[in-house]
Chain A
């Protein structure tokens, strides 16, 4: 569904050229959950923005269903490190934003917004303003907004990294559930091994400067996965250890 063909990106800075990404090739299947992991500065956010059509690749291309991505697509939703909610809009109005901007019919999307907010436990907060919510709740609102227009592709840029450890785990588990039911093709950029192992079908390990694909690891742990005691603790540990070695190498 998504294919990256020789994607490279260099930035020109005052001190000269910086190679952020070099010759990244990747194929992502329909409904797949792919985590992109790497240390800071390995170009993983750049990669996500190129897939989103927000940033052009210096060379190579991104294809979605064989169409070259040159600008943002309407069936792709984005989620950032920070919630990026509009502070003057209520929770519900924030979730409805994509429907307004894309001129989608209001009634069915309003119903969908209510449903999405209910799945993340925010029904009683629909009329609140974002600043009245905790960081975790704000990020849940951002997730609902991203899912409103039923995107086929969900691109997430370290969406839980600004949250405290427990909230991160909670949200990761919720995201796993949501992905299991709605199955958007998901690219999830993170620097957390734990999140990658919990969520991903495959983990792409990027090497830093320039960002190259070092390894693609299949995660074959049965779902639903969880952070608590379960039958697959050994597999989780083995997979995490392998990722850690790849990242430190």
Chain B
């Protein structure tokens, strides 16, 4: 199971290493894997500290996006009026390139971690809303008729039928959202580089310390893969039936 992806990763690193050796590429241009490992070894506590900063922003922002996305999707799916009133607005907001908003968030929220958390929330919010809405409106006719025939209240219909039915699609949204969260965090850290791996990448790039930038990028990749599979793991644990109804 884990063997094939591992072989793929090892092969990619080997190819990268081979290329740097074969063409004598200079370290500041493209560092070889050992240079990156050394950079990580030399600045371990610095990198881990900044990673933790980025992870905190991502998790907090993602949490806000998940809770907010769920609530708003439920409101949108509950009322056609609310949907028509606000959905085009959400679509328009989502269409704005988030990079353009990053400096504004700094103006509004300062240089702390708040603008970063807000950026993460903004960027991962939309896919969660869209997939939750899709899930909530996909309840099969049978189940809708069943809940009506049992005279279930609005709340019961949501809690016992529609929301659980939507969970697999909600998780699809969460998976997209968590991968976007990394992008949101890095974009905002580059716009206001005090802390976090985005700041490390920007500053080390300016100093031509490419191995350090690569070490930070590698950490980012590892963090996003880990968080993605964390969501997948929670999904498998909570929804062992999800695969069955997908067929």
Count class of interface residues, chain A: 20 to 34
Contact of A78 among B146, B241, B244 (CB under 8 A): B146
Q: Which residue of B lies closest to A73 (CB)?
A: B151
One digit per residue, 1 when the CB lies within 8 angstroms of any chain B CB and 0 when it does not, for chain A 85-99 equals: 011100000000110
Decide yes or no whether A187 CB sits under 8 A from chain B.
no
Decide yes or no whether B160 CB sits under 8 A from chain A.
yes
**Are B244 and A77 in touch, CB under 8 angstroms?**
no
Count class of interface residues, chain B: 20 to 34
One digit per residue, 1 when the CB lies within 8 angstroms of any chain B CB and 0 when it does not, for chain A 147-161 equals: 000000000000000
CB distance from B243 to the nearest CB of A (A): 9
Main secondary structure of the interface of A (DSSP, over half): loop
With A86-B143, A87-B244 as known contacts, state yes or no: A101 contacts B150, CB within 8 Å.
yes
**Are A80 and B241 in touch, CB under 8 angstroms?**
no
Contact of B151 among A74, A82, A86 (CB under 8 A): A74
One digit per residue, 1 when the CB lies within 8 angstroms of any chain A CB and 0 when it does not, for chain B 52-73 equals: 0000000000000000000000
CB distance from A60 to the nearest CB of B (A): 21
Decide yes or no whether B18 CB sits under 8 A from chain A.
no
Contact of B145 among A54, A73, A131 (CB under 8 A): A54
Contact of B161 among A76, A77, A86, A130 (CB under 8 A): A86
**Are B150 and A72 in touch, CB under 8 angstroms?**
yes
Decide yes or no whether A213 CB sits under 8 A from chain B.
no
**Are B149 and A102 in touch, CB under 8 angstroms?**
no
CB distance from B84 to the nearest CB of A (A): 23
A88 CB contacts on chain B under 8 angstroms: 164, 167, 239, 241
Q: Which residue of B lies closest to A99 (CB)?
A: B150
**Are B160 and A97 in touch, CB under 8 angstroms?**
yes
Complex: A100 Cα to B159 Cα, angstroms: 12
Complex: A201 Cα to B140 Cα, angstroms: 33
CB distance from A189 to the nearest CB of B (A): 14
Nearest 3 pairs between A and B by C-beta? A84-B142, A131-B244, A87-B241
Q: A72-B148, A86-B164, A97-B150 are in contact. List 17 more A-B contacts (CB 8 A).
A: A49-B145, A72-B149, A72-B150, A73-B151, A80-B145, A80-B146, A82-B142, A84-B143, A84-B146, A87-B241, A87-B245, A101-B147, A101-B151, A101-B152, A101-B156, A131-B241, A131-B245
